[in-house]
């Protein structure tokens, strides 16, 4: 439980008691479960919002709440990664741009597009909406484990996230991804679409990151979570209202 709570504290601003001991590997392993907890809060809120407003308005409120729960943590990473990785830049220049706290044009565009697509896609989901809202944040946080497992830390030992890369992850560290995977079975035929989109998105992002920097940073991990959310909300909205 300490590792789970520490993971939830790390990726959200939820008031859940005093800080737990810093255990990098435990935090990483519990990303899917922490994401599932965030998703459950989101799904319960959506049930109330749907009783008061049309689906699209409720979807906008859901996306806003998700950003509030995470404190814009991953959105900030998406903005920085978009600024740093856009165009043909040298590796060190890209890393310097991502470290800059200022948001550029590409970062702003990326964030606006991500929020807009998530809202529109979620607004098209009906019957499986509660389940989708639980699963997508869990898968999106689990996506970061792939980045940590298959790419080296781009900033080396000097980076603030180096502690999370000190111990190489193994196959067993992905074990809690089985929870959202099992829940996705209840999505019907969209189970197949969701998992194909998830796998394709992970492979594409890892390829892009490797080509651009041959490594990954904390900002790129945050971008990975946000982009995966966008992709998966699109997946569960395939075919219109479900």
DSSP string covering 90-106, please? -HHHHHHHHHSSS--HH
Least confident of 30-39, 63-72, 134-143, 223-232: 63-72
Number of H helices, E strands in the chain: 11, 0
- Give the end-to-end CA distance of the chain in Å, rounded to a whole number: 35
**Could you give the dihedral angle defined by the CA atoms of residues 53, 57, 58 and 62, in that order, rounded to the nearest 10 degrees?**
-150
Give the angle subtended at the CA of 92 by the CAs of 10 and 75, to the nearest 5°.
30
Token duo for residue 48: 């109330």
94 and 84 Cβ atoms separated by less than 8 Å: yes
CA dist 144 and 27 (Å) reads: 11
187 and 128 Cβ atoms separated by less than 8 Å: yes
Which pLDDT band holds residue 51 (cuts at 50, 70, 90)? very high
Residue 240 has pLDDT above 70, yes or no: no
Q: How confident is the model over 66-114, as pLDDT tens digits?
A: 999 988 888 999 999 999 998 788 888 888 888 887 888 899 999 999 9
- Across the chain, mean pLDDT equals 92
Least confident of 17-31, 164-178, 225-239: 17-31
144 and 34 Cβ atoms separated by less than 8 Å: no
Residue 29 has pLDDT above 60, yes or no: yes
């Amino acid at each position: 439980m300490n590792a789970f709570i520490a993971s939830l504290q790390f990726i959200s601003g939820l008031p859940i008691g005093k800080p737990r001991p810093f255990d990098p590997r435990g935090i990483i392993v519990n990303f899917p479960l922490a994401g599932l907890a965030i998703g459950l809060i989101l799904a319960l809120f959506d049930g109330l919002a749907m009783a008061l407003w049309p689906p699209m308005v409720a979807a906008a409120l859901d996306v806003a709440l998700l950003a509030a729960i995470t404190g814009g943590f991953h959105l900030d990473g998406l903005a920085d990664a978009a600024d740093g990785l856009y165009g043909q830049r040298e590796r060190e220049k890209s890393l310097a741009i991502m470290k800059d706290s200022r948001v550029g044009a590409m970062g702003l565009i990326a964030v606006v597009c991500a929020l807009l697509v998530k809202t529109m896609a979620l607004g098209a989901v009906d019957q499986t909406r509660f389940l989708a809202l639980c699963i997508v944040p869990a898968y999106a946080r689990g996506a970061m484990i792939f980045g940590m497992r298959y790419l080296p830390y781009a900033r080396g030992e000097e980076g603030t996230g180096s502690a999370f890369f000190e111990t190489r992850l193994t196959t067993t560290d992905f074990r809690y991804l089985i929870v959202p995977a099992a829940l996705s079975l209840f999505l019907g035929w969209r189970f197949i679409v969701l998992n194909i989109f998830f796998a394709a998105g992970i492979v594409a992002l890892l390829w892009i990151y490797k080509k651009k920097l041959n490594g990954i940073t904390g900002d790129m991990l945050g971008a990975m979570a946000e982009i995966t959310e966008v992709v998966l909300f699109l997946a569960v909205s395939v075919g219109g209202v479900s």
